Amino acid sequence: MNDIEKELEQIQTEAEMAEFHKNYLSKTGKLTMMMAGLKDLPASERAEAGKRYNELKRAIESQFFKKQASLRAKAVNEKLKNDPLIDITIPAIKKTQGSLHPITHLTRRVAEICSSMGFLVVDGNEVVTEFENFDAVNIPADHPARDMQDTFWLTNGKLLKTQTSALQHEILKKHGPVVSAIFPGRCYRNEATDASHEFSFFQCEGMMVGENISIANLIYVMKTILSQIFGREIEVRLRPGFFPFVEPGFELDGSCPFCGGKGCSVCKHSGWIELGGCGMIHENVLKMADVNPEQYQGFAFGFGLTRLAMMQYAINDVRLLNSGNLEFLRGIKR
């Protein structure tokens, strides 16, 4: 052991450590100065001396840092033992990491899938006009379809949107006539709540408009989105259905992602699950957004993100999703 190492070993306090650092390892310390002196040696000795110098410096630095860590640990332990305000027997506070809400998680997944197919992802307003929510999607004031979607009206005459379809008009006007977009979002309805009804829930709407867009395109897109969400091949089945903004309109079923269509308790042994509605966009909707239906056609679809999340995460009461109940949210495996 050389003299420097001996000196280091005898150190007892952090102040002495600082002094040692200043004397040997700092910019003006002896070891650093030695390095500067190497350049005065004859060239033949310089390489060998440089090597030895580096080894010495590294060895001393490593001992220095080891000693510093152990002195610090000792000081902390002393403090913990002697400080009357610190009780080391109290159990540690468990920190839990936050996570995305299941709906947010699913929405982002759908957005990712659709943008990979070239769809815009549009974030629309929750407050919309009566025109956007109803008239622009072919539901005039006297249409009975309005009765099924009562909502919360604001004093300024606007309303909380009852369906993501309310954004169709704005998107067509802004991005049309050739556009592919999805628009997930929160909807509201004036409903009595129970395990499967909430006054507020999430839907995801989608639209593809252009020249020569057909039902075959619709089926392909639906099949791709659903198969990717569930991570397995999903078959799509269209049944005739009425929605004022599409013609023809369909109810959209997917083969049950849980049993693959064989029948299980989730699909009530039918092999199919009802997922939403879809169809070819009604010419009135296109016309109202200044899109010429002679030249352009398109499909639209809408499905319940909340319903999908309930299915995927086996949630049996929709109200839990709005509850802010952390116990419940932590229990969900995303």
Residues of this chain that bind ligand DAH (CB under 6 A): 163, 165, 205, 243, 246, 276-279, 300-302
Note the residue count of the chain: 334
Indicate the residue among 163 and 255 with the shorter CB distance to ligand DAH.
Answer: 163
The CB density around residue 306, as the number of other CB atoms within 10 Å, is: 24
Indicate the residue among 8 and 275 with the shorter CB distance to ligand DAH.
Answer: 275
Q: Which residues contact 96 (CB under 8 A, 6 or more apart)?
A: 330
Indicate the residue among 4 and 171 with the shorter CB distance to ligand DAH.
Answer: 171
Indicate the residue among 111 and 300 with the shorter CB distance to ligand DAH.
Answer: 300
Strand residue runs (E) in 34-119: none
Least CB distance to ligand DAH at residue 112 (A): 21
Least CB distance to ligand DAH at residue 203 (A): 6
Distance CA 8, CA 29 (A): 14
Using DSSP bridges, classify how beta strands 272-281 and 297-304 pair: parallel, antiparallel or unpaired. Answer: antiparallel
Q: Which residues contact 211 (CB under 8 A, 6 or more apart)?
A: 178, 295, 296, 297
Secondary structure letter of residue 76 according to DSSP: H
Indicate the residue among 29 and 293 with the shorter CB distance to ligand DAH.
Answer: 293
Indicate the residue among 165 and 180 with the shorter CB distance to ligand DAH.
Answer: 165
Phi, psi (5° rounding) for residue 187? -125, 160
Least CB distance to ligand DAH at residue 242 (A): 9
Least CB distance to ligand DAH at residue 290 (A): 19
Secondary structure letter of residue 197 according to DSSP: B
Least CB distance to ligand DAH at residue 145 (A): 9
Least CB distance to ligand DAH at residue 243 (A): 4
CB 217 within 8 A of CB 208: yes
Question: Nearest CA to 214 among 190, 248, 244?
Answer: 248
